[in-house]
Amino acid sequence: MFSTLSPGALGLSLDHPTAVDLAARHGFGGVDPDLGHFRTLGLEGTREHAAAVREKGLQWGMAGLPVPLDGTPAEFRQALVDLPESLDLLSAAGVTRMGTWVRPMHDVLDHRQNWRLHLGRLSLVAGLLEDAGIRLGLEYIGPKTFWSTERFPFIHSLREARELIAESGASNVGLILDSYHWYTAGEDADDLAGLTDADIVSVDVNDARDDRERDEQQDLDRRLPFATGVIDLEGFMGAVGAAGYTGPVKVEPFMKSLAERPVDEVLEEISGLLDRSLEVAGPAKA
């Protein structure tokens, strides 16, 4: 398990080389890959860049999946046409994790129709990623203020996400576990029992506002880990640790104020909060 600097998740506009430097300077264990930057470098340049990043002692976090699982057939097909170029670059860099989230509602497709849509596409994408040696993380979204906004609520719990992954038949698909979704979904440490490293592709630690009830929390208005104590991060990270998780841990608070503060100050704080999260998770399992 290692802390990761994900500028996008922090709402910071950092070009990739700067992000790499800042991640190293502030003691992060990893940094998110940047497909756009890799494209400018080309395959060979990306290989060299990745070597340099490794030399700084940094691991790769997770890349975003450039495939809309719920797009139109034409959009989804086009994304498949384009996918190999991205996979080639990520493979060249040694990136092994990509991720996406599942939209937790739909105005037209009911739960079963939407399940079939996601299942078929997830299986196909997983197969293509597997050929490239890349695992896929799937994030479920917990806040009721989000999943209840359209006619047909969809996956918004860990159990549903795990069943979707199991039915995909893919061995390279796992969860993106975010404490915020885990909390808003009404889940606790017991729900995480039995998970292994193979089940988890990425972890997010966030806290929630303390002036709102659980079902009133907004997806895009969170707090930094340990800020309010609303979310049981000890229980969450303890379970993640017990699972023997070995991947990236990041913060995704959706707080605009972060972009208004000096970046070094922000990253020093974030790095420290992530270190504290890792400590809470306990020593790595043998």
Binding residues for its own copies (CB under 8 A): 72-74, 76-77, 80-81, 83, 110-113, 115-117, 119-121, 123-124, 126-128, 130-131, 148, 151-153, 157, 159-160, 163, 166-169, 185-186
191 or 275: CB nearest its own copies: 191
55 or 81: CB nearest its own copies: 81
Query: Is the CB of residue 201 less than 8 Å from the CB of residue 137?
Result: yes
Quickly count: other Cβ atoms within 10 Å of residue 169's Cβ.
12
* 223/211 Cα distance (integer angstroms): 12
169 or 229: CB nearest its own copies: 169
Tokens linked to 189: 């440490």
The residue type found at 187 is E
* 279/237 Cα distance (integer angstroms): 9
Least Å distance between CB 184 and its own copies?
11
35 or 129: CB nearest its own copies: 129
Least Å distance between CB 164 and its own copies?
9
Q: How far is CA 277 from CA 3, 4, 134, 237, in A?
A: 9, 12, 26, 7
Radius of gyration, CA atoms only, the chain: 18
Least Å distance between CB 216 and its own copies?
13
Least Å distance between CB 107 and its own copies?
9
Question: 263-281 and 233-242 helices cross at what angle (nearest 10)?
Answer: 60
Least Å distance between CB 270 and its own copies?
32
Tokens linked to 165: 């992954």
Least Å distance between CB 41 and its own copies?
25
110 or 264: CB nearest its own copies: 110
The residue type found at 133 is G
Least Å distance between CB 214 and its own copies?
11
Burial classification of residue 256, based on how many CB atoms lie within 10 Å of its CB (0-12 exposed, 13-18 middle, 19 or more buried): exposed
21 or 131: CB nearest its own copies: 131
151 or 261: CB nearest its own copies: 151
Look at the chain and count its residues. Answer: 286
